[in-house]
Structures are given as structure tokens and as C-alpha cells.
């Protein structure tokens, strides 16, 4: 049987790992956005110098395909970020209600979240990143088609 101090130590380690993963996912979302916007602009810059309509269309298709892949990638990492926050909330619950640590039942700090659980903190402001990327792609498409 684990003592309360050992249980607290385990929960602290897990919470630190959750926070590190949340931070890592945020950095992945930001850096992937920077790379995709740079790629979209580079494709548009290359396409504007071309006089061939078929090549221009192929480059537009490539640019929008890059955006769609980015959007799927972004949605995956946002759902992962949400799950990480829910798990962190579960672990923080042990500190809010210390009686959970003192029970005779099996200690399980890795227990899963309910399917309808909501995180205490959402990262909805990150959804502006695909919006910005979409707008950059749209402006580049208009520029390519007009020049």
C-alpha cells in the first residue's frame, strides 16, 4: 500500500509530464503554422512567375492540399491538447480533494476521463491559426489568378 506522500509524489510527476506535453503540443501547433504559411507563400511566389496555366493550376492544387493536410494535422493536435487538459484536471482533483488519496481502494492516477468530460481550460484561441492560414491561402490564390 502506498503512503499519501508517495501518491502525491506520483501525481506531481504525472502533472509535470502533462504540462510538458501541453507545452510541446502548443509549440507544435505554432511551428507547423509558421511552416505552412511559409510554404503557401513560397508556392504562390513561384506560381506568379509562371505563364503556364496547367502548372499554375497544379501549384494552386498543391497549395490547397498543403492547407488541407495542415488543417487535419491541426485538428488532431487540438483534440490531443483537449485530452491532455482533461487528464491534468483529473490529477489536480486529487489536490482539491485530499480524501481521494486516503481511500482504501486501489490508487489509479492514470484513470481515464469520462467521454463527456470538458476541460477546465480550453485553447480555442488557437483556432485563429488555421483561419489566418486559410486567409493567406485565399489571398495567394487571388493574386495568382489575377497576375
**C-alpha cell, 86:** 482533461
On whether the CB atoms of residues 4 and 101 are closer than 8 A, the answer is yes
Q: What separation in angstroms does the CA of 70 have from each of 32, 35, 142? A: 8, 10, 20
**Cell 480550453 maps to which residue?**
122
- Cα 120 from Cα 66, distance rounded (Å): 33
Range of the domain at 12: 4-146
- Cα 9 from Cα 48, distance rounded (Å): 59
The total of structural domains in the chain comes to 1
If one counts every other C-beta atom within 10 angstroms of the C-beta of residue 119, the result is 16
Kindly give the interhelix angle for 128-146 and 53-96, rounded to the nearest 10 degrees.
Answer: 170
- The CB-side HSE value for 10 (13 A sphere, CA atoms) comes to 12
pLDDT digits (tens, 9 = 90+) for 41-98: 999 999 887 888 899 899 999 999 999 999 999 999 999 999 899 888 888 888 887 7
pLDDT digits (tens, 9 = 90+) for 107-136: 777 666 666 788 888 888 999 999 999 999
How does the average pLDDT of the chain come out, rounded?
A: 88
Amino acid at each position: 500500500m502506498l503512503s499519501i506522500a508517495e501518491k502525491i509524489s506520483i501525481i506531481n510527476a504525472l502533472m509535470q509530464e502533462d504540462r510538458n506535453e501541453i507545452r510541446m503540443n502548443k509549440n507544435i501547433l505554432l511551428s507547423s503554422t509558421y511552416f505552412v504559411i511559409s510554404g503557401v507563400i513560397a508556392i504562390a511566389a513561384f506560381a506568379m512567375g509562371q505563364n503556364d496555366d496547367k502548372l499554375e493550376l497544379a501549384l494552386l492544387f498543391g497549395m490547397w492540399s498543403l492547407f488541407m493536410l495542415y488543417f487535419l494535422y491541426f485538428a488532431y493536435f487540438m483534440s490531443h491538447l483537449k485530452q491532455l487538459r482533461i487528464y491534468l484536471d483529473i490529477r489536480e482533483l486529487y489536490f482539491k480533494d485530499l480524501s481521494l488519496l486516503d481511500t482504501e481502494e486501489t490508487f489509479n492516477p492514470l484513470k481515464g476521463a469520462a467521454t463527456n468530460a470538458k476541460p477546465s481550460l480550453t485553447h480555442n484561441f488557437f483556432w485563429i491559426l488555421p483561419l489566418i492560414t486559410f486567409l493567406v491561402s485565399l489571398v495567394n490564390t487571388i493574386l495568382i489568378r489575377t497576375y
